[in-house]
Structure 1
Amino acid sequence: MAGRGRAEIESGASFVSGQLGKTVQRLRKAYNLSLSELAEQSGVAKSIISQIERNETNPTLATIWRLSQALDVSIERVLASADEEPFVEKLARRDTPYIVSDDGKMRLSIIGWIKTVEWLQWYDVAAEPGGTLESEGHQRGSLECLSVLSGEAEVTVAGVVEHAKAGETLRYRCDRPHLIRAVGKTPLHATMVCIMKAAVME
């Protein structure tokens, strides 16, 4: 997660498509592969593949990517096959998981899909003036984009300090220690997207 929140994620959501397991099983059988053989070729544990096929687990995108490589199909095809039925999902405010900064003045609501948190994190950021979020570096090559909706933000990365006001966006490498601070006299409201590049490429 971005930041070293003193509070754990308050709630979560699990999204398991009824079609994903069927798609993986159909492709595996089309290649005449056993669970053990697919596990060996993909690097995904046999037990996990079995659970995916039975729709008993919620695989990360990185796991689906490994399976798609082993099955010689694009990840887009796997995901498209899993989402044949259109859907709209609504998450109530009280059910939206969030993180609070160590100083208690900054709150990051996790508005992105929990299922993709290993490679893509999307937050709604609200902070009182002076609120600070200090983060350790993420995986090598990761990138963060902070778009300010109101107030003013200050970002420090490797000793470099930059500011952004409403309507401005800061993009920066987040694979090293970095800090976000709400500066000025008004609260900060922003959206932040963190792309965990290494999680997709590994």
Structure 2
Amino acid sequence: MAIEGKDRQRVLETGAQVLSGNLGKTVQRLRKAYNLSLSELAEQSGVAKSIISQIERNETNPTLATIWRLSQALDVSIERVLASGDDEPFIDRSSRADTPILLSDDGKMRLAIIGWIKTVEWLQWYDLRSEPGGVLDSEAHQRGSVECLSVIEGEFEVEVGGVVQAARTGETLRYRCDRPHIVRCIGNAPGRATMVCILKAAVMD
């Protein structure tokens, strides 16, 4: 993949940095944020699965070309991938271009990952926007996980284990998400909500 203009300059400047031990963790957290397997990330980035595995375990010092391909596949800037945790500012800003977007299978729901990538293993949150009739059909998360859907606009319903509950603007649904669950945007208007997933590490048994 060609690197042009300002991106080329950024890569050259970043190349002078010393890669920290946080690189592997960063790649792994980004991959999990997208729910990608090693094989899927390898296919999307063109980087061998074995190399990605070694990077995540900090067993190799990858080239800038490899890091660039991974950053493109993970939809983040190369600077974000290479950044050292100790050097990060107290106030961190993510641009719209740096915010990963997920789409439901029907293409009607759009989830922007607005949570901090460092908490993805135990806390995830999203800005959810949906066309009328949008459906998000999700597999079970790890045992003990809970999801919270706070409706900002429109009306949604959640189905878990055959039980269905609806919520309108200003209302919140909380439900176990360690089993298959479905979120639907009902009614004739578009919907918007904040979705927070609290994984087992932060949930009481």
TM-score bucket (shorter structure): 0.5 to 0.7
* 1:43 counterpart residue number: none
Q: 1:156 and 1:94 mapped to 2: Cα distance?
A: 32
Q: Which has the higher contact order (CA 8 A, sep 6+)?
A: 1
Write out per-residue CA displacement over residues 153-185 of structure 1, whole angstroms, 9 at most, x where no aligned residue: 010000000000000000000000100000011
* 2:124 counterpart residue number: 121
Q: Which segments of structure 1 move beyond 4 Å, counting only runs of 4 or more?
A: 82-86, 198-201
Q: 1:114 and 1:143 mapped to 2: Cα distance?
A: 19
- Counterparts of 1:60-75 in structure 2, within 5 Å, are none
Distance 1:167 1:86, change over 3 A: same
Q: Is the contact between residue 99 and residue 108 of structure 1 (CA under 8 Å) also seen in structure 2?
A: yes
- Quick check: 1:176 aligned with 2:143? no
Ranges in structure 2 where 5+ consecutive residues have no aligned partner? 1-18, 30-84
Distance 1:55 1:97, change over 3 A: closer
Q: Identity of aligned pairs, percent?
A: 65
Q: 1:128 and 1:167 mapped to 2: Cα distance?
A: 18
* 1:149 counterpart residue number: 152
SS of structure 2 residue aligned to 1:58 = helix
Q: Is the contact between residue 140 and residue 198 of structure 1 (CA under 8 Å) also seen in structure 2?
A: no
Q: Give 1:99 shift.
A: 0.7
- Quick check: 1:58 aligned with 2:25? yes
- Counterparts of 1:9-20 in structure 2, within 5 Å, are none
Distance 1:93 1:55, change over 3 A: closer
Write out per-residue CA displacement over residues 30-72 of structure 1, whole angstroms, 9 at most, x where no aligned residue: xxxxxxxxxxxxxxxxxxxxx97x44433689xxxxxxxxxxx
TM-score (norm 2): 0.57
* 1:90 counterpart residue number: 93
Distance 1:57 1:195, change over 3 A: same
* 1:16 counterpart residue number: none
Q: Is the contact between residue 149 and residue 191 of structure 1 (CA under 8 Å) also seen in structure 2?
A: yes
Q: Is the contact between residue 146 and residue 203 of structure 2 (CA under 8 Å) also seen in structure 1?
A: no
Distance 1:161 1:200, change over 3 A: closer
Distance 1:198 1:140, change over 3 A: farther
Q: What is the count of residue pairs matched by the alignment?
A: 130
Q: Is the contact between residue 150 and residue 165 of structure 1 (CA under 8 Å) also seen in structure 2?
A: yes
Q: Give 1:95 shift.
A: 1.5
Q: 1:193 and 1:161 mapped to 2: Cα distance?
A: 19
Q: Give 1:94 shift.
A: 1.7
* 2:103 counterpart residue number: 100
Q: 1:57 and 1:107 mapped to 2: Cα distance?
A: 28
